[in-house]
Structure 1
């Protein structure tokens, strides 16, 4: 199956009326129209084309001025159109009137699979209408109602619809003023619905009572909770970010995880998770066999919570991603997590961005990396790591054979740290993505990295933004680019590069055969951009 994806400006919308001649290789023609370019007349022309059977499958009218009148016109099209599968009307203020019109269309339409109504001023009346449509619609799989105001009444109506609907797999209700009653209604729905796999309820007002109700849908029995999610066998993703679920809610979810066997992703970021909640979640992880992603971003788990999670990781055999960024992790917590990494064989991503592990925490993690063979992504940005931390991580990279992504942005490793990492890159054969932006790296560090790039054959992305490599650093990297055949992305934005450095890079681009992206924002290259433009004419693969 081949698809041609065409983006049309308003001047070319008339092309929708053209009938492409059939060929053996052209089986589907997809158009995408940018809403901000469309006026009332152009929208009407588009509608008329769709009524006559233009082979449209994806229609993107996001961020425009469609409003309720436009939604009414599009609704009439959806009643007869048989090719459209995706309609994006995000940021269009269709309101309840527009939602009601689209709902009537959904009752008749049998092909639309994705409908995006993000930020459209839809309230309970619109949600009620959409709910009635979902009771009879047999094609819609994804409905995005994020950032509207459907409230508890809207959530209640959608809950009733989901008891009958057998096709919807993804429902996004982010930031909809849903409180505990709405959460309880959705929880009851999860008892009987067998198709929904992703439910997003982030940034609502569910709090602990709503979390307790949702927990009922995730477990067989715990405390005074009902049996709701004990029978649900379809939900795989639950997003409860920024909902103030508090201690009791988190503990209830933890009990649920002990019994649930289908949930793979649980997002609890921005929920003030502290040590007691972390302890409860840790106990659940010791026995849970389905969860692969746990997001605790912006928590305050403390030393005891980190130690508990570490103990859980020693026993858990399914979790692959753990997000603890911005969670007050310091050296003691990093030490505990490091001990877990020495024996854990499933975790592939550990996000510790914006903590304070320092050089001692980096040392502990480095020791773990010398033993661990499963971790592929380690995020250590903004962690007060200096040259000593970079030195020990570099030693680990010389022997580690699994890590592919290392992010050290916004630390202070300096030239000495860059030199150490450069030596590691000469030996390492697995790292593909290295981010060193904002690390006080000057020309000496750039020179060292350049020498590494001449022999390294695995690194594809190197981010050096917001350093001070200057023209000499840029010239050194240019020499490396002439022989390197693996690097595809190089970010040198905000590095005090001037004309000489840019000209050197342009010469490298004439012969380099792998680089597709070069970022030079916020430098002082002046007229040297013309030299780069000329070089790009000779480079057949460059994209940016």
Structure 2
């Protein structure tokens, strides 16, 4: 009671208490009072309240790290996927990336159905999402077949067994929009590849086909690829790297390439256990190929003999502008054979000779060839001196590399000037 009376007396008598200190939040409540008469004839305080804050380093009393949404992740089940419909019906994406997503069969089926209905994306990536199941693949096949905007579909790292490969094949058979199909590391060897090829024989829209790391063999798989190349002239890029084609399989592929007069532009055969014996098949058809622009034979033990066998075919061919011979076990002898091709070529733009044992003699031959060549604008060579111990040979190699780089730069400038002149003439 005494405390209440004391506080009341303070108010009515106009007695001011000391200003309040900083509160627990660090805000200072500064009250100064003016006395005025109340309607009841008593005095009261009319306060002017001002708020001030402490210095910057004192205003923050603590912090907490936000929850990391990537640490555990959510399963994309049917319920979660259906929640995305409001987004898909309003936005068309350039690319939807679901690689490594925890996508189950129900979720995949719902998601692909929505994408097909709303034409949600130009590019869909579902690589390494291994639990989408049969119904998910059926919905994906419907998406591939019916979507009027889907142009790229990537499903690498997902085993395509016969039943799922059959679903994809049905979607591809009647597709008129898909341009890029990537099925790397999908266990496509055997009947699964046959089903895919059967569909692509009827498809004249797909332009890029990626089949790397599928353990494709030289018995049946290469024959399926031969059949595909014999009838499909729409595919512009075929990536077969890291398979087991061998020389006998390459013979089958070359049989198919004979029909590709206005079709395939890029053929990647990186790391397919090809040797010098297989180069006979390739050299025989190179003069007849008028559309092939990029040929990558890297990571195959071709040896110097392989380059010798390939040389005449390359010289007779006028379409190849990019040639990959990295890690092909060639030495100076192979570099000299390559230099002979460079001298004769008028269209080669890039040549990759890295990770080979090309010493000073080979570099000298390449340097002389570059002085006579006016098309090659990029010659990839190992930067460090190869297998030379004498100081003068090391310095010679460095000098030769500089000369080769200058020749490439000269050719690049000449090419640019020629293009500008052609543009001016066209105007």
Q: TM-score range by the shorter chain?
A: 0.7 to 0.9
Provide the rounded CA distance (Å) in 2 between the counterparts of 1:240 and 1:449: 42
Which of 103, 106, 130 is equivalent to 1:244? 130
C-alpha displacement at 1:246, in angstroms? 4.6
Q: Secondary structure at the match of 1:367?
A: helix
Give CA deviations for 1:28-77 in whole Å, capped at 9, x if unaligned.
xxxxxxxxxxxxxxxxxxxxxxxxxxxxxxxxxxxxxxxxxxxxxxxxxx
Matched residue pairs, number?
340
Which residue does 2:400 correspond to in 1? Answer: 504
Partner of 1:304: 191
Could you say which residue in structure 1 is the equivalent of 2:231?
Answer: 343
- Superposed displacement of residue 279, structure 1: 2.2
Q: Which has the larger radius of gyration?
A: 2
1:133-192 Cα distance to aligned partner (Å, 9 max, x none): xxxxxxxxxxxxxxx45944xxxxxxxxxxxxxxxxxxxxxxxx75654434335642x2
> Aligned in 2, Cα 1:504/1:305: closer, same or farther, shift over 3 Å?
same
**1:428: which partner in 2?**
317
The Cα shift of 1:507 comes to 4.2
Say whether residues 1:195 and 2:92 are aligned partners.
Answer: yes
Q: Are residue 461 (structure 1) and residue 353 (structure 2) matched?
A: no
Q: What's the secondary structure of 1:482's corresponding residue?
A: helix
Q: Measure the CA separation in 1 of the matches of 2:97 and 2:407.
A: 48
Scaled by the length of structure 1, what TM-score is found?
Answer: 0.58
- Note closer, same or farther for the CA distance 1:202–1:382 as it changes in structure 2 (3 Å cut): same
**1:406 match: secondary structure:** strand
2:271 corresponding residue in structure 1: 382
1:257 CA drift (Å): 2.3
1:55-74 correspondence runs (5 A):
none
Aligned pairs (5 A) from 1:130-145:
none
Q: Which position in structure 2 is the counterpart of 1:171?
A: none
TM-score w.r.t. the length of structure 2 is 0.74
* Residue aligned with 2:323, SS: strand
CA contact (8 A) 1:442 1:468 kept: yes
Task: Indicate the structure whose relative CO is greater, using CA pairs within 8 Å and at least 6 residues apart.
Answer: 2
1:314 aligned residue: 201
The CA RMSD over aligned residues, in Å, is: 2.5
Contact 2:376 2:408 in 1 (8 A): no
Q: Is contact 2:104–2:133 with CA below 8 Å preserved after alignment?
A: no
Listed as ranges, the gaps of 5+ residues in structure 1 are: 1-94, 98-120, 124-147, 153-176, 219-228, 518-544
* CA gap 1:444/1:196 in 2 versus in 1, 3 angstroms: same
Q: 2: distance between equivalents of 1:335 and 1:343?
A: 13
Cα deviation, residue 208, structure 1:
2.6
Counterpart position of 2:254: 366
Structure 2 partner of 1:164: none
Q: Could you list the per-position Cα deviations for residues 307-364 of structure 1 after superposition, in whole angstroms to 9, with x for gaps in the alignment? A: 1121112100111111110012111212201211111121111111111111111111
Alignment of 1:204-353 (within 5 A): 204-218=101-115, 229-230=116-117, 232-248=118-134, 249-331=136-218, 332-353=220-241
Deviation of 1:238 after TM superposition, in Å, equals 0.9
Counterpart of 2:84?
A: 186
Q: 296, 315, 318: which is aligned to 1:407? A: 296
User: What SS class does the counterpart of residue 217 from structure 1 fall into?
Assistant: helix
Which residue in 2 is equivalent to 1:471? Answer: 360
Write the distance in 2 (CA, Å) between the matches of 1:182 and 1:246. Answer: 15
Runs of 4+ in 1 over 6 A off after TM superposition: none
